[in-house]
Amino acid sequence: MTTRWAPAKRDTLRELANEIGHNYGRGRVIVAVDGPPGGSVATAGLADDLADALLESGLTAFRASVSAFSRRPEGAGRDAAPELDESVFRRVLIEPFRLGGSTGWVEAAYDAEADRPVESSWVTGPADAVLLVDGSDLSRAGLAGIWHYRVWVSADDDRPAARATASAVIDGTDPEHPRRRFDDAC
pLDDT, tens digit, 9 for 90 and up, residues 143-167: 989 999 999 998 776 667 777 788 9
Please report whether residue 19 resides in a domain: no
Q: Is residue 140 part of a domain?
A: yes
Give the global pTM: 0.89
Please report, for the domain that includes residue 161, its CATH number: 3.40.50.300
Residue 155, in any domain of the structure: yes
In a domain, 14, yes or no: no
In a domain, 59, yes or no: yes
pLDDT in tens, 82-141: 889 999 999 999 999 999 877 899 999 998 777 789 998 999 999 999 999 999 889 888
Residue 1 lies in a domain: no
Count of structural domains within the chain: 1
Instruction: Give CA–CA dist 149/141, Å, rounded.
Output: 16
Contact, 167 vs 186, CB < 8 A?
A: yes
| Among the listed residues 133, 157, 10, 176, the one whose alpha carbon sits nearest the alpha carbon of residue 184 | 157
Does residue 69 sit within a domain?
yes
Residue 58 forms part of a structural domain: yes
* Cβ-based neighbours of 102, under 8 Å, separated by 6 or more: 124
Integer Cα distance of 74 and 26 in angstroms: 40
Residue ranges making up the domain that contains 129: 24-181
